[in-house]
Amino acid sequence: MYCRNCGKQIDDAAAFCPYCGAKTDVAEAPASDGFFDSPSQSAPGEGYTYSPPPAGYYQQPSSGYEEQSNGMALAGFICAFFIPVLGWVFGGLGLSRSKKCGGKGKELSIAAIVVATVMWLVSTIVYINVYERLLDELMSYMMIGAGGLL
C-alpha cells in the first residue's frame, strides 16, 4: 500500500509510515488468542507506547556534490609532477569544484597548482641550461667538421 501522507510505498501491515510517521488505515491488533490473557504473563512491550518518528526523520541521502570526493584535485596533484600544464588545469578545476564539494580537495588543488608551477620553473631552467650546452657542443663539432673538410 501507499502512505496517504507522503505517497511512498510501505508494508501492508505497517501501522505507521516508516518515512513520515503518519498513521495508516491498518486495523488495530487482531483479537487476542488468549495466550497473554493470564495474569502471570504480559504482552511484549506492554506498558510502552509507540510514538512515530517526526516527519523527515528518515531521509534519503542527497545525490549532490556534498557526498562526492574531489577527483580533479587528486588528478591535478599527480599530474603536476610530470606534466605541469595538466597539473594547472586539473588543479584549477579541482579548486573550482571544491566550492561545490563543501571544501573537499581545496588544499590539494592549491598544492597541485604550486607544485606544477615549481616543476615548470625547474624544467625550464634545466631545459635552458641543457639546451645551451648542447647547442655549444653542436657548434664546436660543426666547426671541427667544417675545418677538417677544408
Closest by CA position to 16, among listed 61, 50, 44: 50
- Mean pLDDT, rounded, for 69-92: 91
C-alpha cell belonging to residue 38: 493470564
More confident residue, 72 or 57: 72
C-alpha cell belonging to residue 19: 518515512
How far is Cα 41 from Cα 93, in angstroms, rounded to an integer?
Answer: 67
Predicted local distance difference test score (pLDDT) of residue 143: 76
C-alpha cell belonging to residue 43: 504482552
How far is Cα 49 from Cα 84, in angstroms, rounded to an integer?
Answer: 65
Q: Apex CA 122: angle with CA 116 and CA 126, to 5°? A: 140
- What mean pLDDT value characterizes the chain? 78
Predicted local distance difference test score (pLDDT) of residue 70: 82
pTM of the model: 0.47
Which residue type is seen at 113? I
How far is Cα 70 from Cα 65, in angstroms, rounded to an integer?
Answer: 9
How far is Cα 118 from Cα 138, in angstroms, rounded to an integer?
Answer: 30
* Burial call 59-75: b when 16+ CB within 10 Å, e when fewer: eeeeeeeeeeebebbbb
Residue 42 has pLDDT above 60, yes or no: no
**What band does 57 get if pLDDT is binned at 50, 70 and 90?**
low
DSSP-H helix ranges across 49-83: 71-82
More confident residue, 63 or 143: 143
- Mean pLDDT, rounded, for 67-88: 88
